[in-house]
Amino acid sequence: MSVTDRFTDKRILVWGYGREGKSTEAFLKRCCKPASIDIFEGKREDIDEDNYDYIFKSPGIVMEEENPKYTSQTQVFMEEYGSQTIGITGTKGKSTTSSLLYTVLNACSGRETLLMGNIGLPCLDYFDHIGKDTIVVYELSCHQLAHLTVSPHIAVFLNLFEDHLDYYHTMDRYFTAKTHVAAYQSQNDAFYVGDNVPLFDTKAVKTVISSTKNYDHVLSIQGVHNRFNAEFVYRIATEQFGCDPQKVKEALKTFKGLAHRLELIATVDGVEYYDDSISTIPQATISAATSLKNAKTLLIGGMDRGIDYDILEEFIAGHREYNYILMYETGKRIMDELADSSGVYCTNDLEEAVGLAKKITKEGEAVILSPAAASYGYFKNFEERGDVFKQLVIG
């Protein structure tokens, strides 16, 4: 039975009506023949589950237990097209790696390649447009993975760092959600994993990628971490799809990077300004600082989700060559936790931070917005935070 036949004459509830919820409604109307489709945006306790055969839950909605009546876009898509899918997850780098792999496979595989999921359009927008030879590159967030019971044919788990504890409360629960990218694979599947990811059960053929090796990929984007990401792309393209190694290397060079990911946005009075608003964890900020030879001033801080900042505080203590401008809730917390805060500045918000950065950063140096914290509570999302930063820089 086709996955779409399952919804014939069924009563469906779409829980959450953002971009994915609207996409789900359109998919059901276009590809299925349900008896009814209702939309709901309230709390779990207000859902009368007996009234529905299936409930599509949007990824950001918290639901701790497993319930077979609940499903999702990702679950339905993987059931139909998981055998054609490369699923990519990790705490950081998954958007860049997904886009980089999409670029390379488009150039080198000779097959139609689609990019979707946590980046690009929702997966069910493509449901009825995928051919038997289509390659799907699917960026998977922890929320999309949390209740998944089908893994993609090729799984990628780049790295694991402390994140999203406001949602999962413990690292174990966050990690468990991420493991679903490979937990349901068979011995005929492939799993590419970074060396800082803890071991977990999977039947797939596993390839471990070292995060400490200095890969020689020539890229148009900055950072050792991006050469690590590129190694996943190179290995998958050459090993799984038989792409010519030299053509892959040439395609890697063409990728210009994504917005808000260590993106050079302007040079003003001889000072370079980089938008790394995607940075929501300490490790990402440290990577940004060490990726640019002329990095001088770091803008840090945002919403406090309760994650550990010890590694960033140790970096600040050991690297006084940078100017650190702290802001918002986490900025104040880091300032309070530093044993020695000399040379570290604290401001109220991004506007004050940019104004101070312009005063203390000299010609030839670089300013990086790399907050190591979420944007929520101050901005709609990290994209808006980056856009505001750009406006403040350019004036």
Could you tell me the CATH number of the domain that includes residue 285?
3.90.190.20
Q: How confident is the model at residue 121 (pLDDT cuts 50, 70, 90)?
A: confident
What is the pLDDT, as a whole number, of residue 162? 77
Q: Are residues 114 and 238 located together in one domain of the fold?
A: yes
**Distance between CA 354 and CA 289 in Å, rounded?**
17
**Cβ–Cβ contacts within 10 Å for residue 269, how many?**
8
User: 58 lies in which domain range?
Assistant: 9-71
Question: What average pLDDT score do residues 310-338 get?
Answer: 96
Query: Which one has a higher pLDDT value, 66 or 253?
Result: 253
> Of 152, 166, 13, which Cα lies nearest the Cα of 79?
152
Percent of the chain with pLDDT over 90: 86
Residue with tokens 């390649």: 113
Residue 60 has pLDDT above 70, yes or no: yes
Query: Is residue 1 a part of any domain in this protein?
Result: no
pLDDT tens digits, one per residue of 151-205: 999 999 999 987 766 777 788 888 999 999 999 999 999 999 999 999 999 999 9
What is the pLDDT, as a whole number, of residue 1? 61
pLDDT tens digits, one per residue of 339-369: 888 889 999 999 999 999 999 999 999 999 9
Q: Are residues 286 and 352 located together in one domain of the fold?
A: yes
* Number of independent structural domains in the chain: 3
Q: Are residues 232 and 150 located together in one domain of the fold?
A: yes
What is the pLDDT, as a whole number, of residue 63? 82
Q: Are residues 53 and 173 located together in one domain of the fold?
A: no
Q: Are residues 143 and 243 located together in one domain of the fold?
A: yes
Q: Are residues 342 and 289 located together in one domain of the fold?
A: yes
Residue 37 has pLDDT above 80, yes or no: yes
How high is the mean pLDDT of the chain? 94
Which CATH number characterizes residue 222's domain? 3.40.1190.10
- The alpha helices in 64-189, defined as continuous H runs, are 73-81, 94-108, 142-145, 165-168, 171-179
> Of 3, 254, 317, 277, which Cα lies nearest the Cα of 105?
254
Q: How confident is the model at residue 303 (pLDDT cuts 50, 70, 90)?
A: very high
Boundary of a domain, candidates 235, 254, 273: 254
3-class SS string, 280-295: CCHHHHHHHHHHCCCE
What is the pLDDT, as a whole number, of residue 165? 67
**Distance between CA 284 and CA 194 in Å, rounded?**
16
Q: Are residues 65 and 80 located together in one domain of the fold?
A: no
> Of 169, 174, 229, which Cα lies nearest the Cα of 200?
174
Boundary of a domain, candidates 201, 233, 254: 254
Question: What average pLDDT score do residues 85-94 get?
Answer: 96
Q: Are residues 91 and 144 located together in one domain of the fold?
A: yes
pLDDT tens digits, one per residue of 219-271: 999 889 999 999 999 999 999 999 999 999 999 999 998 889 999 999 999 99
Query: Is residue 300 a part of any domain in this protein?
Result: yes
Q: Are residues 235 and 115 located together in one domain of the fold?
A: yes
